[in-house]
Amino acid sequence: MKNTQFSLQDLDPSILRVGDIVFIRIDNFIFNKVAKATLLWVNHVGIIVGFKNNEYWVAESTIPVSKITPLSKFIARSKDGSFAIARLKQPLTIAQQVKIVQASKKRMSILYDTGFNLRSSRQFCSRFVYEVMKEAIGIEVGQVESFQKLLHKNPDYGLKFWKIWFLGCIPWQRLTVTPASQYNSPEIEFIYEKPYQEII
């Protein structure tokens, strides 16, 4: 059930678990363009990988490199304190949670990929979550799709920015995965949500 009435301070930390997925809205030019292109308020995502020093920790791929961040700082970066926490519908065993932590650690300190290429040697946030979950427990959270399919979902959104971003040539056949497709994944259910209210 989604809860939109409270803040992080009111969220009972005992309900969180390793493997929970955290969505936020970073107020960054390129990330905001991703949100507009995908017709959803979220534009960044990470995975809870542990609890230490009275704080949950989130593994994320971010600029400049992937790292582990305190949950409070992760959410503090979100516009207007907006965030959502989701969990796989399939309950995770302790062994699966350990594998999620291990798969996340393998991907630390990798440079961020501003080309959002699923096949590059770098990382980006939704790819990080997608690959960690797939490797650790065999579940695909999010939809792999080409830029052609992704950008044509929103025909009213101009392509001028993306043409400039990719130096005049959008890589239409490049495969990617977005925070929006993970947010809408049938594999998850939300345990908390405080969405960003702006109409995209």
Is 11 or 73 the better-scoring residue by pLDDT? Answer: 73
Residue with tokens 């959104």: 157
Please tell me the CATH superfamily of domain 8-146+177-194, with its number.
endopeptidase domain like (from Nostoc punctiforme) (3.90.1720.10)
In terms of DSSP bridges, do strands 21-26 and 55-60 run parallel, antiparallel, or are they unpaired?
A: unpaired
Quick one: pLDDT at residue 11? 64
Phi/psi of residue 143, nearest 5 degrees: -115, 125
In this structure, of 36-50, 98-112, 132-146, the range with the lowest mean pLDDT score is: 36-50
Q: What does DSSP say about strands 55-60 and 44-52: parallel, antiparallel, or unpaired?
A: antiparallel
Q: Which two tokens stand for residue 52?
A: 């230490």
pLDDT surpassing 90 at residue 1: no
Q: Where does the pLDDT of residue 80 fall: very low under 50, low under 70, confident under 90, or very high at 90 and above? A: confident
Nearest to 99 by CA among 123, 122, 131, 68: 131
pLDDT for position 113: 97
Average pLDDT, the chain: 90
